[in-house]
Amino acid sequence: MEQKSSRNFDLLTLGQVLLRLSPPDNERLSRGDTFVKQVGGAELNVAVGASLLGLHTGVISKLPAHDIGSFMKGKIRSFGVSDDFFMYDHSPSARLGIYYYENGAYPRKPKVIYDRNNSSFFSLDINEIPQEVYTASKCFHTTGITLALSEQVRETTIEMVKRFKAAGTLVSFDVNFRGNLWSGDQARETILKILPYVDIFFCSEDTARLTFLKTGTAKEMMKSFTEEYPISIVASTQRIVHSPKLHTFGSVIYDAARGEYYEEEPYRNIEVVDRIGSGDAYISGALYGLLSSGGDCAKAVAYGNATAAVKNTIPGDLPSSNLDEIETIIQAHNATGYQSEMAR
Ligand SMILES: O=C(O)C(=O)C[C@H](O)[C@H](O)CO
């Protein structure tokens, strides 16, 4: 796995930053008088998680040039994530994407309502992205959410993926399939166009089967991506939902150059408070593991699993663990097998 040490950033992510509005406690979206403001967006979540672990990260995005944009910018900076590559929309109709989230409580499911169409990010054009971005970072990460947003954003993203790859940047991509943004067929058709440029690929077993129509075991499917495309690393997370508030989380990583799979005992009996963003937290930990070690997949599994497991226990989209916390949790996980013992 090649890393260019002269690059200023370890990780740049591309995506829409979203304002999340949730009624407090278990109140419903259709009732109540108050919303809690939170900050989200899959690619921002990854940049925040990796920054808290110690990587130098930034987000490439487009925000409205008004107070709501400033609120987001302040929040993002407070996590040490750079706004060097923010573009601003000065038009009178500039707006930030919003999503409304209602917490679930068994047997009522959680609810997501997007209000993001035609927000400022949707006008992101390849010509407004500064050329220096393509050589600014060791790794570039984006997701299927960004590709799903609009034709304009899709074209910009595909072109950026190609330019980052051509500039020698490691390209990381998470399918992150959202059925409320596009269909499986649309996702497959689009993502297959960028897989020739992807180095690190995050794809769940369900998505491999349902979206990419793969068959076989989870490990066979992971390997098959690397046989069809020049992908170096495939990571797949696994979640078992024992009850709405009690989950098991683990992952497998396949290293194509070594022809080896890496996995560890999963985290069991996670007390889930808010699972949103835990997949992104996993990616932040896995990329930290890879980028801080020159491609050690065992480290990626350990840091990815621990960062995701902890995120599940915290409200909001963003990870909040620093390196000390994650390393303490990894040590406890390895030494005592506490989570494993509890399940036996
Ligand atoms: O759903 C989206 O598009 C978001 O980006 C909001 C959340 O932060 C994201 O889903 C978590 O992965």
**Helix/strand/coil (H/E/C) assignment for every residue in 250-282:** EEEEEECCCCEEEECCCEEEEECCCCCCHHHHH
Residue nearest to atom 6 of ligand 1 (CA): 41
Q: What is the span of the domain harbouring residue 225? A: 41-60+127-332
- Kindly give the pairing relationship between strand 137-143 and strand 9-14: parallel
In a domain, 312, yes or no: yes
Do residues 245 and 276 lie in contact, with contact meaning Cβ atoms separated by under 8 Å?
Answer: no
Q: What is the residue-averaged pLDDT of the chain?
A: 95
In a domain, 300, yes or no: yes
In a domain, 338, yes or no: no
Tokens matching residue 117:
């169409």
CA dist., res. 185 & res. 195, Å (int): 15
CATH number at residue 284: 3.40.1190.20
Dihedral of alpha carbons 173, 176, 182, 187, sign: positive
Q: Is 199 a catalytic residue?
A: no
In a domain, 109, yes or no: no
pLDDT digits 0-9 by tens, 13-29: 999 999 999 999 889 99
- Looking at this protein, which amino acid is placed at residue 55? L
**Distance separating the N- and C-terminal Cα atoms of the chain:** 38
106, 53, 98: which is closest to 300 by C-alpha? 53
Given this model, what pLDDT does residue 305 score?
A: 98
In a domain, 4, yes or no: no
In a domain, 216, yes or no: yes
Question: Is any atom of ligand 1 closer than 6 Å to the C-beta of 45?
Answer: yes
The pick from 178, 276, 314, 320 for probing ligand 1's pocket by mutation, whose C-beta has the most ligand atoms within 8 angstroms, reads 276
Given this model, what pLDDT does residue 1 score?
A: 55
Cβ neighbourhood burial of 189 (10 Å; 0-12, 13-18, 19+): exposed
Ligand 1 centre distance from Cα of residue 281 (Å): 12
Ligand 1 centre distance from Cα of residue 14 (Å): 13
Question: Is any atom of ligand 1 closer than 6 Å to the C-beta of 145?
Answer: yes
ipTM: 0.95
Paired residues of 221 in beta bridges: none
pLDDT digits 0-9 by tens, 190-211: 999 999 999 999 999 999 999 9
Ligand 1 centre distance from Cα of residue 217 (Å): 28
Do residues 10 and 139 lie in contact, with contact meaning Cβ atoms separated by under 8 Å?
Answer: yes
Does the structure show a pLDDT above 70 at 342?
A: no
Domain count, the chain: 1
Question: Is any atom of ligand 1 closer than 6 Å to the C-beta of 42?
Answer: yes
The pick from 16, 39, 61, 145 for probing ligand 1's pocket by mutation, whose C-beta has the most ligand atoms within 8 angstroms, reads 145
pLDDT digits 0-9 by tens, 264-310: 999 999 999 999 999 999 999 999 999 999 999 999 999 999 999 99
Question: Is any atom of ligand 1 closer than 6 Å to the C-beta of 58?
Answer: no
In a domain, 20, yes or no: no
Tokens matching residue 242:
């024992």
